[in-house]
Structure 1
C-alpha cells in the first residue's frame, strides 16, 4: 500500500505545467534572483553546470538599476564555476554524461530536499543515505541509512 501511495505521488509530480504556470514560475525565479545575490549565484552555477548559454538579459529588464551590476556579477561568477564543473559530453551515437551524482547547493536537490556533504538528502527510502530521521520517508535514520 505504501508503494502504491509513493507511486501515485510520483505520477502527480510529473504533471506538466501549462504555459501560464511556467511563465509565472519563471518570473518568480527571476524576481528572487534580483532580490538575493546568493540565489543569483546559485542559479548561475546551476545554469553553467547544465551547460546553458550565458544570458544575463533578464537583469536589465527585471532588476532595480541600483542592484543590476551586483546581481549580474554574482550570477556570472556562479556560472563560471558551474561551467568549470559541468559534466563532460562525449559525442557518440548516444550522448553520454560522465559525472557522479552530487550536489553543491540545496537548490541542486529540488524542493523539500537538502544538500549535506555533497549529497541530496530528504524523502529517502529504505537503504538511502541520511543524516537525520527527517531525511527518511519512514522517519527512521540509523547509522546514516534510512530504515
Structure 2
C-alpha cells in the first residue's frame, strides 16, 4: 500500500520528535527547501535554506541546541500536494535550561504526495526576546 501524504508527514514529524535526522532525511528530495519568516540575521536556523544537505545541517543545529519536550502535530491538514498545521511546541534550551515555547505555522508543498518545500511562520518578537535573554545571560 502506498503511503499517503498524512503518513509521510506523520513519519517526518515522528522523526523530528525522536530527533532522528537520518530517518527524517530519508523523506526529503535533494532539492528540498525550508523557508522561515525569521530574518537570516537572527542566526543559522533562520531565513531561506535550499538543498537537502543544507536543510539537514540547519535542523541538526536545532536538535543540538534544544531538547524537544512537546511537539503537537495533531492538527495537521493534508491534501495531495499541500498540507498545513499549527504546531504548539515546547523545547528546552540545552545550554541554559530555559523553556522555549510557542505555536508555529507550517505549510508544506508536495509533488506527487512527497514534500519539496516547508514554509514556517514563527512569533518573531518571541524569538528575538528569547535570543536576547540568552545573550544577556552569557554577558553576566
TM-score w.r.t. length of structure 1: 0.28
Higher relative contact order (CA 8 A, sep 6+): 2
* Structure holding more helix per residue: 1
TM-score by length of 2: 0.29
